[in-house]
Amino acid sequence: MRHRPKNIAGFLAALAFTLPCALLAQKDITQPGDPIIASSSNSPGSEGVANAIDGQPTKYLNFDTRTGGKPSGFVVSPSIGVTRVVGISMQSANDAPERDPKIVTLEGSNDDTITDFASGNWELIVRLDNIPAFTARFQTQTFFFDNFKPYKHYRWTVHETQTINGCCMQIAEVELLGSLLPPDVTQPGDPLIASSSNSPGSEGVANAIDGQPTKYLNFDTRTGGSPSGFIVTPSIGRTLVTGLTMQSANDAPERDPKIVTLEGSNDDTVTGWSGGNWELIVRLDNIPAYTARFQTQTFLFDNYKPYKHYRWTVLQTQTINGCCMQIAEVELLGTGAPKDVTQPGDPIIASSSNSPGSEGVANAIDGQPTKYLNFDTRTGGSPSGFIVTPSIGATTVIGLTMQSANDAPERDPKIVTLEGSNDDTVTGWTGGNWELIVRLDNIPAYTARFQTQEFYFPNRKSYKHYRWTVLETQTINGCCMQIAEVELLAVSEGADCNKARFLTQPVDTPVLSGSQATFNVVVNGPWPLQWYRNGVPIPGATQASYTTAPVTAQNANDTYSVEIVGCEMSSSVKAVIFTPSTTKSLGLSFRGSGANGAPTLMNPDDIAGVWPQAYWMNAAAAGSGSLPDYNVDPPVEVTDSDGNVSAITIDWATSGTWGSGTGNATATQRMLNGLNLDNPGGDPATVTFSNVPNGNHAVLVYVVSPPLQFQDVTYTVTGTTTQTYYIRAMNSDEYNAAPGFYRGFSSDPNNPTIANFVRFDNVRPDAGVITLSANCTTTGYDRGTGINAIQLVLNAPNPGDPPAITTQPQPTVAPEGGTARLTVVATGNNLTYQWRKDGRNLPNGGSVSGATTATLTISPFSAADEGVYSVAVFNPAGSVISRNAAVRVSKYDIRDRLVGYWKLDETGGLSAANSVTGGKPGAVNGTPSWGAGQILNAFNFDGGTYLFVPDYPVAKQAIAAAAWVNVPAGSLFADAAIIRNAQGALTVSGGAQRIVGQFEMGLVYDQDSGAVLPMAAVGIGPNVARVTASTPFPVGGWHHVAFSADGAQLRLYVDGQQVGFIDYLADINPPDIPYLSLGARLNVDSSEPPILGPDAQFPNYLLGGLDDVGLWTRSLTATEVQAIYDTGRQRRPLTDVVLQPPTTEPGRLSVSYSGGNVTVSWDRGTLQTATQVDGPWTDSNATTPLTEPATGAAKYYRTVVK
């Protein structure tokens, strides 16, 4: 009998290294060096049998299988032990295709030893007849099949080659795909219920799972009797059982089981043998008679659904007898319940961008109740959904969950398909090679909002990409499809310790005495977890959150931690009994409504806020209201942080309610999830406190915007004086990636701080009144941003100045294998740093160093390191987060991904050549006019002519364009297009009437000043990122304009200098239209069929000259834009730009000591100094050599090449 782990930690260790049968991405159970026996030695010296399992494209060739010959192959005994094989992959070898296998058998044996190819006891597992001909050398074909029996040895035999030939059989590699047997999910002490108590005193039901050869005997199953067995509830939680073992007991064989059923239940509790809701998992009929006492038989079966409880029932014994049923031991073989293989931030492609601004596709896998809505799936519409590529790699998905969203039930999915692809990359919704995994027809109607339904299905094949498609909604409607969350479920094979890590650690959690604390972690994959209390595993605590028993003085010193099983242990934390401050405060949380998980209510014992307090008040789900509110039952009073009624009153007036999408799992998430709006263009939102006692108070305002919104908000507090702060509000995508409070304190409207709270100190009420106003100033999004929660802290101590970032990290490029550095400069006392990649905290290790210093270094830098980076800076008074900075690999070649280049140097004709190989020229529509330009010739637009480019390679992650423009003074009195991919207005969503465009660059006419302002915009997800310069574009001569969108910012340049930027986070949308227009805005008219031409209402004709137009499907650095401008000023084309990669060889540094002085010399780079060897490092302005006294504290020197 197999060894049973004696405790939960042992079970989890076993689980971490065991694969469940047929459910994971199946792996080869053989490895180089496993014992292998050839069918014969009739092979060339260098092409022997070991090559068949060496993991290389070397060849195993055997001359036996040829004209008039015989089968050939090998026997292999996997060194990992007994396994279950459910698939084979075979790779063709380098030589003649006729030698490839055509008919193959795989057999299994459980003999103790196998000594040669022809001996032993073998059972056929599968016969593969007529294997398709391999279409290339070193091509791999994979075959899956049913097999429910484990074996020690396998015999692979080729009976016939693709063409019977006079030579041989050949194969490059054979992989046997399968797994070890999963462990027993039960353990001694798990809750058990016997079918009856009709057992001898020493042979009760607990013996059945005690890990010993003790006996469970029940007298019910005998002549004229009834079935017997037990119910067990594994303490590890829900499990997926795919096998069982049964060990015969010591006594008469006729008592052994012959017919057994195993059922599962997901009821919350099961209290009796005959009660509950049960589903049959397997029925084992005619179990072979045991040939010995304490013999174990193993049975494997397909099961794709996890359960909380199992009922094992013996319906008949081997011989109907007058005594009983007996069993020594039962093991239920399985794993933890399947987990979601996706995580927030995984690459995801929407079926289209036809979604509201804050309800884009990323919401479908963000782990929050935010909503993905797509207008395509409606009356007369088309299917919608998404493609996701799990970042953990290929997975075998056997289930999915779908959570309904907040709005109308008719929008919920009714018919859904899930497909898989193993293409190397998938770039668009309609491209790629896809295989149907499952079609779910007639999904039951959801009975509540934010309800989750689970679906499981047989699937043995692993895939890299998944396409989830809604073919029909519950009711065909005029709106859309909506979903809150989709999870793709697979069984975790245990953690890959090279990948597995914590993205967020548990933290000490304050609680009121007698309340429960909840700890949460986020990990970067579906890894098995185990929580510990005081170093001891907690039974059943295997999820990403754990809620304690009520916390009292008796258990307040307990410590909690969580392990990624087999890999990493988290930091230890405690539940801390909260002692309210003697400084009183009032906290008001806006519950919100409408979307993204709102409305959300805080609990009375929730402790939240930068100024921690309990007894938060929940504002009514209305744009305007007041407290106390005596018009509801029960009445709502204004209460302070002690839960006492306060005389202060609160009134608010806002643009309406919404949800931000932070979730509701923690007190802080609940505080931030509801949102009262200030929509741009209207009156500011206000919150007014009245009857406030005199004193120096603090007002803290919390804000998290809905997903994908990047909006500036002005907050002003008025008492006896007025204070104003300007922030760019964090959105929930940014917040959820690395939760924390980040303070906004900029007094410069042109330089807002990225923040999710502002704090006003020394606020004195004016006649008892303090008023807070919120004014959202950024337009172009689905809705505004305003106030999620607010605190009034009476006579608050001033915490001092938080950090201030004076120099933001800048977008950076580096050569493949080179060094990328990002630096932030901040002021403040006792600063600490934490760099992030794609919103997640970045640890040191591998190529990353300086992750907790002011300078982040990535060396060597590779494509895997590309991403969007930022840094959080902390001190005791608060924290601040930097702007995002994209970091990319560069080839330092201006022609790299230059997909369109129209020099416009022609002297006549109706075509503008595209200098990029294979690029489409621009066709003149109107009157051609060519003349002198900035670089040789240019095209002169007359206000009624444009250039049409029928097609171009579209951008995905980044895009840039540049051009020289000459606008005569006083010639433009309307907007003018320079280059664009758009039809009508640049649009990405909004129902049926929309054509998705990718970008535009042009000039905007300012009606008030009569000036023209440069502008650029890109379509990103369901939004348009648009930047317009505040300074006029120079007229009356040639000037350069360019834009670059890199995944973090859209930046606009004039004459080599940045004149504006805007933050965003998304890929560039694939367009619905293939063409470009230069010099005009195009649209279709209302004729049938529609005719494409200048927009009838807003043609946006350019009047003036255009020269040297370039388009890239990558971003341009500021250095590149400046170089293009400088080169053009010399009247040379942009392709003359020469970019120099940085010197990556480190400089030489020497230090000498003499006469009490230290002299430092270096040959290149910038000298940096630090007081500790691991930094933080500060640039020195010194030049070599530097001599300074060797006094005081230790000092360290280094040089860096920037």
DSSP notation for 204-253: -GGGGGSSSS--EEETTSSTT---EEEEE--TT-SEEEEEEEEE--SS-G
Closest to 674 (Cα-Cα) out of 664, 684, 683, 686 = 664
Q: What residues contact residue 465 under an 8 Å CB cut-off, 6+ apart? A: 387, 388, 389, 420, 421, 422, 423, 426, 432
Q: What is the pLDDT of residue 14?
A: 37
Closest to 570 (Cα-Cα) out of 614, 519, 517 = 519
State the amino acid at position 986 in one-letter form. L
Reduced to 3 states (helix: H, G, I; strand: E, B; else coil), residue 412 is: coil
Q: Map 257-272 to HEC letters.
A: EEEEEEEEECCCCCCC
Q: Map 916-942 to HEC letters.
A: CCCCCCEEEECCCCEEECCCCEEEEEE
Cα 295 from Cα 1119, distance rounded (Å): 76
DSSP state letters, 979-1016: EEE-SSS-B--SSSS--B--EEEEEEE-TTT--EEEEE
Cα 483 from Cα 406, distance rounded (Å): 9
Strands 509-511 and 573-577: parallel
898-1130: what CATH class? mainly beta
Which residues on neighbouring strands pair with residue 941, listed in sequence order? Answer: 1104
Q: What residues contact residue 994 under an 8 Å CB cut-off, 6+ apart? A: 354, 987, 988
Q: Using only C-alpha atoms, what is the Rg of the chain?
A: 35
Q: Does CATH place domain 585-793 in 2.60.120? A: yes
CATH of 22-180, one of 1.10.357.10, 3.30.420.10, 2.40.110.10, 2.60.120.260: 2.60.120.260
Cα 236 from chain centre: 27
State the amino acid at position 560 in one-letter form. Y
Closest to 1003 (Cα-Cα) out of 1046, 1047, 1035 = 1035
Q: How many CB atoms lie within 10 A of CB 538?
A: 17
Q: DSSP secondary-structure letter at 1123?
A: H
Q: Taken in order 853, 855, 856, 861, is the CA torsion positive or negative? A: negative
Cα 106 from Cα 75, distance rounded (Å): 10
Q: What residue ranges do the domains of the chain occupy?
A: 22-180, 192-336, 339-490, 502-577, 585-793, 805-888, 898-1130, 1149-1200
The pair of structure tokens assigned to 457 is: 């299905």
Cα 676 from Cα 654, distance rounded (Å): 6
Residue pair 485/587 in contact (Cβ under 8 Å)? The answer is no
Closest to 151 (Cα-Cα) out of 183, 116, 180, 184 = 180
Residue 511 burial (CB < 10 Å; 0-12/13-18/19+)?
Answer: buried
The pair of structure tokens assigned to 450 is: 């934010």
The reply to whether domains 502-577 and 805-888 share a CATH topology is: yes
State the amino acid at position 602 in one-letter form. M
Quote the CATH superfamily of domain 192-336.
Answer: Galactose-binding domain-like (2.60.120.260)
Residue pair 601/670 in contact (Cβ under 8 Å)? The answer is yes
pTM: 0.79
Cα 369 from Cα 484, distance rounded (Å): 5
Q: What is the pLDDT of residue 1148?
A: 77
Residue 938 burial (CB < 10 Å; 0-12/13-18/19+)?
Answer: buried
Residue pair 522/502 in contact (Cβ under 8 Å)? The answer is yes
Cα 281 from Cα 177, distance rounded (Å): 24
Q: What residues contact residue 1036 under an 8 Å CB cut-off, 6+ apart? A: 967, 968, 969
CATH of 502-577, one of 3.40.50.300, 3.10.20.30, 1.10.10.10, 2.60.40.10: 2.60.40.10
Range 339-490: architecture per CATH? Sandwich (2.60)
Cα distance from N-terminal residue to C-terminal residue, the chain: 64
Q: Does CATH place domain 805-888 in 2.60.40.10? A: yes
Q: What is the pLDDT of residue 506?
A: 93
Residue 1187 burial (CB < 10 Å; 0-12/13-18/19+)?
Answer: middle
DSSP state letters, 558-606: -EEEEEETTTEE---EEEEEP---SS-EEEEEE---SSTT-S-PPPTT-
Q: What is the pLDDT of residue 380?
A: 86
Cα 57 from Cα 60, distance rounded (Å): 10
Cα 574 from Cα 515, distance rounded (Å): 14
Reduced to 3 states (helix: H, G, I; strand: E, B; else coil), residue 485 is: strand
State the amino acid at position 1165 in one-letter form. G
Which residues on neighbouring strands pair with residue 931, listed in sequence order? Answer: 938
Q: What is the mean pLDDT of each run of 10 residues along the chain (1202 residues)?
A: 37 36 63 95 94 94 94 95 92 96 96 94 96 95 90 97 96 93 90 96 95 95 94 92 95 96 96 95 96 94 94 97 96 91 92 88 92 92 95 92 94 97 92 95 95 93 95 95 96 78 90 94 87 91 91 95 92 94 96 87 94 94 90 88 96 92 92 91 93 97 93 97 96 90 93 95 97 93 91 94 93 93 93 92 88 93 94 91 95 97 96 96 97 97 97 94 96 95 83 76 94 95 90 96 96 97 89 94 91 95 97 97 97 95 71 85 81 75 86 79 60
DSSP state letters, 719-781: SSSEEEEEEEEPBHHHHHHS----EE-B--TTSPEEESEEEEEEE--BTTBEEEEEEE---SS
